[in-house]
């Protein structure tokens, strides 16, 4: 599949100067250029790269009521071995259960609890994110414990069965959740040769049961997975606290430089999960709750490189509109829909993109789904024929700038987590690490038109 725009990865060498932390004299490189941020953002930022290639963002917030940290590893369920579905998620659970330096099981959570803190983690298709929040005065020692997860985890054999039960319980808890059922349906009906089609959560059968059938030790397979993929080179760390940037830098450099560098271990795959064999399909499914949904899923190239042009933000704004003449205004007049949303399923997918148009239909709308499809594709055809409108793009750019400048301040934990996650996009320049998801760059009619070309009746599948 052709790319939407030929782009090179951003330059992460120019503008970085070699420095040493104040106390331990640990070496690191600091970005000395200007980081684009909101006009009203009073926080101070320092972007650094450690000798092991881990990239960290230190955030000083003098008003922060609590401190937080998030470390994102650029590997998720996309790397699950075919024979061990859910292994990446199981690793997420096992990593919290003791390290060589802090061997006591639950010591980290106990330390957090004693200092008004909490922790959590999640595994997505492309990343695994570990994060915590805590009383500002306890951040230093929390970071020391946190870093050890990625330096010397024990993977205590005594904890395997219990954590398997936790994973299995999490899986069973999703069985009656329509959002998760729909996601798993879209995965299982995609190209079986692509990891997108896998079972991301895992359960006792796909982990312990699979190991027993193969005569393998599940814990040993878990350690192999960790050793293969968990490299500092594909880790992004964000630390937020009311401490000075020099202090935060000292803690990051002294505590996280010990994570092993194994090179770029990020998994990559050929092909697209929605290939020719999957396109043109109509898939009916039953929901747990009474709801009527039409889901159009389009196959697109990778989207990460067009973070400045944001053609899908342009198109989604038009598709989501409720103004007269919009798709929704017509559907509402006919009594066929209560909401419509167009958006990429995940901007961070590696090697492919998916765009979805979801319509919350009424029972009458579901009966007239073919007419709804005709309206949707008629509107898309009209957009393609009339071409991109620069005035609309510039207006959208001003609106997004205002939202960026005046958005509510996030809590420390949520802010750290979102920044560490978004740090994996290799096309994002250092100066845009705060603004890339919000602000629009230069108008590019060509890339908008190219996106529209993919939103056609021959390049989608339908879920009802």
Per the DSSP assignment, residues forming a β-bridge with 73 are 128, 235
152-170 burial code (b ≥16 CB/10 A, e <16): bbbbeeebbeebbeebbee
Would strands 235-241 and 55-60 be described as parallel, antiparallel, or unpaired? parallel
Query: Do the beta carbons of residue 60 and residue 245 sit within 8 Å?
Result: yes
Angle between helices 390-406 and 311-319 (to 10 degrees): 90
The residues, ordered by sequence, that sit 6+ positions from 462 with a Cβ below 8 Å of its Cβ are 281, 282, 283, 294, 295, 296, 297, 369, 373
Strand order in the sheet with 353-361: 282-283, 460-463, 293-300, 353-361, 337-344
Q: How far apart are CA 380 and CA 388, in angstroms?
A: 12
Quick one: tokens of 385? Answer: 């024929």
Q: At what angle do helices 311-319 and 445-454 cross, to 10 degrees?
A: 60
Contact 138, 115 (CB under 8 A): yes
State both tokens at 299: 């196959």
Find the helix packing angle between 160-174 and 87-94, rounded to 10°.
120
Single out the residue of 439, 426, 138 nearest to residue 302, CA to CA: 426
Q: Angle CA(99)–CA(219)–CA(424) in degrees, nearest 5?
A: 65
Rounded Cα gap, residues 346 and 20, in angstroms: 37
HSE, CB side, 13 Å, CA atoms: give it for residue 446.
6
> Which DSSP state fits 206?
I
| Whole-Å CA distances, 290 to 175, 336, 360, 361 | 16, 16, 11, 11
Residue 435 is classified by DSSP as T
Q: Could you tell me which residues come within 8 angstroms of residue 148 by beta carbon, excluding any fewer than 6 positions away?
A: 99, 100, 101, 102
Separation in Å, CA 58 to CA 87, 224, 232, 291: 31, 31, 17, 44
Q: How far apart are CA 11 and CA 32, in angstroms?
A: 13
- Is residue 395 part of the annotated active site? The answer reads no
Catalytic residue, chosen from 92, 250, 309, 413, is 92
Other C-beta atoms closer than 10 Å to the C-beta of 295 total: 18
Catalytically annotated residues: 92
């Amino acid at each position: 599949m052709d790319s939407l725009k030929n782009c090179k990865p951003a330059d992460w060498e120019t503008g970085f100067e070699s420095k040493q932390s104040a106390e331990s004299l640990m070496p690191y490189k600091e970005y000395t250029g200007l980081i684009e941020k909101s006009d009203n953002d009073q926080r101070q930022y320092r972007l650094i790269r450690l000798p092991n290639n881990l990239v960290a963002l230190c955030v000083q917030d003098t008003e922060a009521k609590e401190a937080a940290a998030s470390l994102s590893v650029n590997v998720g369920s996309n790397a699950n071995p075919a024979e061990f579905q859910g292994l990446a998620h199981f690793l997420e659970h096992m990593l919290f259960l003791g390290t060589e330096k802090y061997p006591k099981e639950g010591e980290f959570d106990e330390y957090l609890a004693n200092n008004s803190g909490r922790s959590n983690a999640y595994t997505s298709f492309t990343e695994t994110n570990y994060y915590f929040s805590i009383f500002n005065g306890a951040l230093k020692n929390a970071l020391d414990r946190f870093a050890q997860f990625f330096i010397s985890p024990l993977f205590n054999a005594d904890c395997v069965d219990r954590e398997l039960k936790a994973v299995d319980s999490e899986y069973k808890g999703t069985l009656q959740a329509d959002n998760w059922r729909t996601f798993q349906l879209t995965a299982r009906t995609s190209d079986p040769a692509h990891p997108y089609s896998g079972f991301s959560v895992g359960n006792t059968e796909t982990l312990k049961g699979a190991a027993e059938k193969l005569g393998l030790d599940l814990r040993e397979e878990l350690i192999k997975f960790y050793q293969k993929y968990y490299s500092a080179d594909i880790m992004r760390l964000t630390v937020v606290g009311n401490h000075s940037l020099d202090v935060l830098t000292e803690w990051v450099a002294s505590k996280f430089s010990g994570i092993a560098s194994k090179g770029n271990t990020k998994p990559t795959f050929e092909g697209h999960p929605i290939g020719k064999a999957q396109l043109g399909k109509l898939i009916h499914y039953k929901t747990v709750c009474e709801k009527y949904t039409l889901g159009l899923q389009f196959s697109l190239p990778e989207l990460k490189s067009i973070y400045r042009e944001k053609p899908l933000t342009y198109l989604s704004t038009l598709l989501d509109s409720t103004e007269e003449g919009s798709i929704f205004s017509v559907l509402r007049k006919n009594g066929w829909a209560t909401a419509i949303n167009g958006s990429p399923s995940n901007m961070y997918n590696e090697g492919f993109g998916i765009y979805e148009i979801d319509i919350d239909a009424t029972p009458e709308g579901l009966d007239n789904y073919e007419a709804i499809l005709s309206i949707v594709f008629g509107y898309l055809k009209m957009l393609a024929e009339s071409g991109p409108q620069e005035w609309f793009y510039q207006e959208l750019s001003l609106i997004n700038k205002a939202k960026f400048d005046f958005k509510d301040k996030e809590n420390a934990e949520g802010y750290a987590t979102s920044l560490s996650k978004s740090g994996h996009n290799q096309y994002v320049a250092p100066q845009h690490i705060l603004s890339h998801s919000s602000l629009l760059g230069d108008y590019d009619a060509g890339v908008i038109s190219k996106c529209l070309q993919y939103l056609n009746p021959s390049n989608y599948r339908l879920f009802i």
